[in-house]
A = this chain, B = another copy of it.
Amino acid sequence: MVRPTMEDVALRAGVSRALVSLVMRNSPKVSEARRAAVLKAAEELGYSPHAMARSLASRTSTVLGVMVSDLHNAFFAEVVDGIDEVAREQGFDIIINTGGRSPARERRALESLLSFRPAGLILLSPVVPATAISKAAEQLPIVLVARSSRVSTVDTINDDGEQGARLAVDHLVSLGHKRIAHLDGGEGTQAGPRRRGYVTAMEAHGLTPQVVPSEYTDAAGARAIRSLIEDGALPTAILSCNDFNAVGAISALEDAGLRVPHDVSVVGYDNTSLAALRHVSLTTIDQPRAEFGRLAALALLQRVRDGRTEPVRHLLNPSLVVRNTTAPPGGPR
């Protein structure tokens, strides 16, 4: 239960502490023989440099903090993959913390990450107030993913929700649909752009938008469909605010004896792993998640290492993934 220090390694390798330090920092001015001896001793003792002491002494940090608002959402896992890939390449470590969807807990997570004095912070879809973010941004570089911000010291990476919705509408229209409803994400992140994209795309095609209030859950999607059926307002195609909502919608449609896509086409949004399940096989809009992560890490490193100060705003292009929940009205030929 005793963690070895440089001193121990030096002793074991029969060299000075300074030399161990040089080896650990990959200094070129160490003979191969000694380097090997030191590394061997370190290995035997299970020694690895004390990250905290190191960063304290070197006044630098090779750690990037990542705050994931909701660990339950696999969306973020792929973003983290992208971050991790770039960070590792560039010799940075990442530490992750989670906000559990609650602003209070997220605030704590932020505090906690900050207390490690990382080189920078990546916040994935944070729900804390903007003031908390801009305050933190005074202390270190921050990149926001899937949340926009006007704070000039903060970089943002988002997908173009308007374009995504447009892609979906264009796809449905090209299949021959004219009555296409949007199950709206309400207050949810990115619900606004998606709704706007839907409305403008419909109008561009000379069609009448039909926005149905809903939420980012499967239960809400089902409810929205039931209300449409009750009102006799069911269209031939549905654009859901996200995949969960779409799956709920499909479920309610099938409960009502309607077939997807024969009677009604459904498009989701996000291309979660759920959508790819053959049992679901949902046509949906894909966001380049790993790319989000890579760009976020790169943007952060530019600030950390190259001292960039002007903010960067990335708006990535989503893409359409056609699966088996969309077909021409009346069903596939």
A71 within 8 A of B: yes
Give the residue of B48, B52, B81, B114 whose beta carbon is less than 8 angstroms from that of A56: B52
1/0 contact string of A61-76 vs chain B (CB within 8 Å): 0000000001111101
Contacts of A278 in B (CB 8 A): 218-219, 222, 248, 251-252
User: A1-26, CB under 8 A of B: which get 1 and which 0?
Assistant: 11100000000000000000000000
Mask: chain A, 220-231; 1 = CB below 8 Å from B; 0 = not: 001000000000
With A3-B140, A56-B52 as known contacts, state yes or no: A279 contacts B96, CB within 8 Å: no
Chain B residues within an 8 Å CB radius of A210: none
- Compute how far the CA of A76 lies from the CA of B74 in the bound complex, rounded to whole angstroms: 11
Chain B interface: which of A28-36, A131-139, A233-241? A131-139
The quantity of this chain's copies bound in the complex is 2
* Cα A81 to Cα B105 with chains together (Å): 11
Smallest Cβ-Cβ distance to A219: which chain B residue:
B278
Interface check A263, CB cutoff 8 A: no
Q: Which residues of B contact A111 (CB under 8 A)?
A: 48
Contact A96 B93 (CB under 8 A): no
Known A251-B278, A279-B247; judge A93-B112 contact (CB<8 A): yes
Check A213 for interface membership: any CB of B closer than 8 A. Answer: no
Rounded to whole angstroms, the CA-CA distance of A112 and B93 in the bound complex is 7
Give Cα A72 to B140, complex, Å: 28
Q: Which of B48, B76, B248 contacts A115 (CB 8 A)?
A: B48
Q: Does A149 contact B (CB under 8 A)?
A: no
A130 at the interface (CB under 8 A from B): no
Let me know if A274 is at the binding interface, CB within 8 A.
Answer: yes
Please tell me which one of the listed residues B46, B52, B81, B138 contacts residue A1 in the complex, with CB atoms under 8 A apart: B138
Q: Is A205 an interface residue, CB under 8 A from the partner?
A: no
Q: Which residue of B lies closest to A217 (CB)?
A: B277
Which B residues are CB-close (under 8 A) to A74? 71-74
Residue of B nearest to A76 (CB): B71
> Lowest 9 CB-CB distances: which A-B pairs, in order?
A52-B52, A251-B279, A51-B115, A71-B77, A96-B96, A72-B77, A95-B95, A93-B112, A251-B278
Besides A71-B71, A84-B100, A94-B112, 18 other A-B contacts (C-beta < 8 A): A3-B140, A46-B136, A49-B115, A52-B52, A70-B77, A71-B81, A72-B74, A72-B78, A74-B74, A84-B105, A94-B97, A95-B95, A95-B97, A95-B112, A218-B278, A248-B279, A252-B278, A279-B280
Q: List 22 A-B contacts (CB under 8 A).
A: A1-B138, A3-B117, A3-B139, A46-B138, A50-B115, A51-B117, A56-B56, A71-B71, A71-B74, A84-B105, A88-B108, A93-B112, A94-B97, A95-B97, A95-B112, A96-B96, A218-B277, A222-B278, A244-B277, A248-B279, A251-B278, A274-B277
